[in-house]
Structure 1
Amino acid sequence: MGERAFWIGTYTGGAGHGAGIYRVTRRPDGTLGAPELAAEAVSPSYLAAHPGKDVLYAVHEEDEGGVAAYEAAGGRLREIGRRAAGALPCHLSVTPDGARLIAADYGSGTVRAYPLAPDGGFAGDASVAAGHGRGPRSDRQEGPHAHMSAHAPDGTVLTTDLGADLVRSFRLEGGALRLTGETPLPAGYGPRHLVVHPGGFVHVLTELAAAVLVLRPLDGYAALEVAAESPATAGPAGDPAQGAAVKLGDGGRFVYTTMRGTDVVTAHRVLDGGAALRPVADVPSGGHWPRDLHVDGDGMHVANERSGTVTTFRIGGDGVPVPAGPPLSVPSPVCVVPA
């Protein structure tokens, strides 16, 4: 395994102890070197890299939030553009063709699609899709809370709404987000993050119910239905337990989730081509309040926000992560993205 750079997004100010976006280098043994501040920024809690340019995007997770684009050169980040967002933007993804940046705004419940220029910078104002609905949890589901976007093979943009217990499907037409369908999930589950499995199924980690739902596409990805439900942890999830991230591993043979409160990473074996999951092991995350994780070949990096650590694991042939060394100190880390 050769050297490679990674970016780490953090919480800053009243939300955390970070100073912005940090850069770390993966060493030949798979562990990460000491972090270096690459750009000062306000709560760049989630990052996304352009698929074809040396450009990194970051949210500014504030009540009056924003998104920024950075040119990456020589281990540093130079801001090349900024746009307004809704309240508390918390997730970013880039369309596979590099033409749009998709942002999920937790506070306002909106989803935004920003047009991108050929150099990866912003090329205009965003198309905005408003959210609607609420769930039974008055403390967390008083209104829509968009939380993530992912891209299906047919170009559909799939988004989770934690507040409304929905997965929404959008098509980008003329640069605008057009709603093509809404998939209701069990009341009070609070969908947070999702992945599209190579078998076509969609795996949704819920934050409020400690479960992973498997959705089956019906009409492309414009319509989906709940096909199966699996526990988010192999053992008791604990109370309070809040699911955070879900990622694929080993080409889709495994799914990995993080659980805050219990502070574990769970390995799930994928069954029947993605139609079902079986949790096989809970592994301590190496810190407190694990957020995002990145599967790095036969390794894994987990951001533990409240302990200020990023833990590196090696993944064995059985799919179970094993710590690769002591956790790395990084202030209030939230996500890890390869450069």
Structure 2
Amino acid sequence: MGTGVRVGEQAFWVGTYTGRAGGGAGVYRMLRRADGALEAPRLAAEAVSPSYLAVHPGARALYAVREEDEGAVLAYEVTGGRLREIGRRAAGVLPCHLSVTPGGGHLVVADYGSGTVRAVPLAPDGAFAGDPDVAAGHGRGPRAGRQDGPHAHASAHAPDGTILTADLGADLIRSFRIDRGALRLAGETPLPAGSGPRHLIVHPGGHVHVVTELAATVLVLRPLGGYAGLEVVAESPATADPAGGPAQCAAIRLGAGGRYVYTSTRGADVVTAHRVLDGGAALEPVADVPSGGNWPRDLHVDGEWMHVANERSDTIATFRIGADGVPVPAGTPLRVPSPVCVIPA
């Protein structure tokens, strides 16, 4: 079965909040035309709050969290633009993020509510191949109501195979290795107290960039001989202008060529372009751009295009990234119910 995608077009999967959490119905598929315009989304699979998604490297399987108190992760077989559930595994409380190891051998799940990190073994075709190995979190931070205990929020993969995880509740970056199917803690890096690390990326230059939800900053970490140990070498604001009010940073993404990094900030409702300095050793915020809606959570950079999921306004806004790295609105935002995550199909 064909994908229905023509030359110059790109298909995307969209995760949403459902039920009490939002107005979505599950996982949607949408198409970006060659001119950047988005076509109306189509429901690809009904699911309960599939708020974050990940694709197997072979593109034959899609994974989604079920972000609830009794959380789960689901696997779907991808056939063209269709999804068929082929497995599920229990997760902790409020699983909120997924990533796949570069070789496709494991799915890494961050459980916000319970603070645990899970590694689910995967078969070559992307299907679940066993039960997850679970690493418990620990610690807390000074922010009452948000840092009462560990809150694992995201993972990223370093070039040496280390899995880096951000713990918003404990102000830690934890480094793991998978050894004979088990998650082994390789090291912990404390971050500024009360910062609340949320999402992270590894720059091609080797540095790790972390956006903090509670302090509205971006931290740059340098590996100390390897990614088991890191040190903070730079800190800059997450927005070019003071965010003010109840600003909460959400996502961080790498731009094409690694020359710019982009963040989204809820409350201020902006996406920010950050110039990369010294090969990734520092960042400089250069411009805030209105996100095209309310409460921007995820964003995806696709070459010259950027798509921003504005959860509370039920829109996905498209931007064209100029030569100066600054996103410029492109067309009218697309109506999508409670969008949270946007990834390429």
TM range (shorter): over 0.9
- What amino acid sits opposite 1:11 in the alignment? Y
Equivalent runs, 1:215-234 vs 2, <5 Å? 215-234=221-240
- Per the alignment, residue 172 of structure 2 pairs with 166
Select which of 276, 285, 296 maps to 1:279. 285
- Per the alignment, residue 218 of structure 2 pairs with 212
Equivalent runs, 1:156-305 vs 2, <5 Å? 156-305=162-311
CA distance in 2, matches of 1:192, 1:44: 18
Q: Secondary structure at the match of 1:306?
A: helix
Select which of 58, 61, 68 maps to 2:64. 58
- What amino acid sits opposite 2:131 in the alignment? D
> Is contact 2:317-2:332 (8 Å) kept?
yes
- What amino acid sits opposite 1:12 in the alignment? T
Pair 1:147 & 2:158 matched: no
> Is contact 2:59-2:78 (8 Å) kept?
no
- TM normalised by structure 1 equals 0.99
CA distance in 2, matches of 1:271, 1:315: 19
Pair 1:78 & 2:84 matched: yes
- Per the alignment, residue 314 of structure 1 pairs with 320
- Per the alignment, residue 17 of structure 1 pairs with 23
- Per the alignment, residue 330 of structure 1 pairs with 336
CA distance in 2, matches of 1:319, 1:74: 33
Deviations 1:148-171 (A, max 9, x none): 000000000000000000000001
Task: Give the C-alpha shift of residue 219 in structure 1.
Answer: 2.9
- What amino acid sits opposite 1:246 in the alignment? I
Pair 1:108 & 2:110 matched: no
> Is contact 1:244-1:291 (8 Å) kept?
yes
Deviations 1:85-109 (A, max 9, x none): 0000000000000000000000000
Select which of 30, 36, 46 maps to 1:30. 36
Q: Secondary structure at the match of 2:297?
A: strand
CA distance in 1, matches of 2:37, 2:44: 19
- What amino acid sits opposite 1:111 in the alignment? V
- Per the alignment, residue 6 of structure 1 pairs with 12
Task: Give the C-alpha shift of residue 241 in structure 1.
Answer: 0.3
CA distance in 2, matches of 1:22, 1:317: 31
Task: Give the C-alpha shift of residue 74 in structure 1.
Answer: 3.0
- Per the alignment, residue 3 of structure 2 pairs with none
Question: Which stretches in structure 2 are left out of the alignment for 5+ residues?
Answer: 1-6
- Per the alignment, residue 138 of structure 1 pairs with 144
CA distance in 2, matches of 1:160, 1:206: 9
CA distance in 1, matches of 2:36, 2:55: 21
Task: Give the C-alpha shift of residue 2 in structure 1.
Answer: 0.8
CA distance in 2, matches of 1:319, 1:31: 20
- Per the alignment, residue 4 of structure 2 pairs with none
Q: Secondary structure at the match of 2:265?
A: strand
Aligned length: 339
- TM normalised by structure 2 equals 0.97
> Is contact 2:152-2:167 (8 Å) kept?
yes
Deviations 1:249-290 (A, max 9, x none): 022100000000000000000000000000000000000000
> Is contact 1:66-1:85 (8 Å) kept?
yes
CA distance in 2, matches of 1:256, 1:4: 20
CA distance in 2, matches of 1:4, 1:210: 32
> Is contact 1:211-1:230 (8 Å) kept?
yes
- What amino acid sits opposite 1:336 in the alignment? V
Cα RMSD (Å) = 0.7
Give the 4+ runs in structure 1 shifted more than 6 A. Answer: none
Task: Give the C-alpha shift of residue 112 in structure 1.
Answer: 0.1
Task: Give the C-alpha shift of residue 318 in structure 1.
Answer: 0.1
> Is contact 1:53-1:119 (8 Å) kept?
no
Q: Identity of aligned pairs, percent?
A: 79
CA distance in 1, matches of 2:9, 2:333: 18
- Per the alignment, residue 69 of structure 1 pairs with 75
Q: Secondary structure at the match of 2:268?
A: coil
CA distance in 2, matches of 1:248, 1:178: 28
- What amino acid sits opposite 1:267 in the alignment? A
Q: Secondary structure at the match of 2:313?
A: coil
- What amino acid sits opposite 1:34 in the alignment? A
Task: Give the C-alpha shift of residue 72 in structure 1.
Answer: 1.2
- Per the alignment, residue 93 of structure 1 pairs with 99
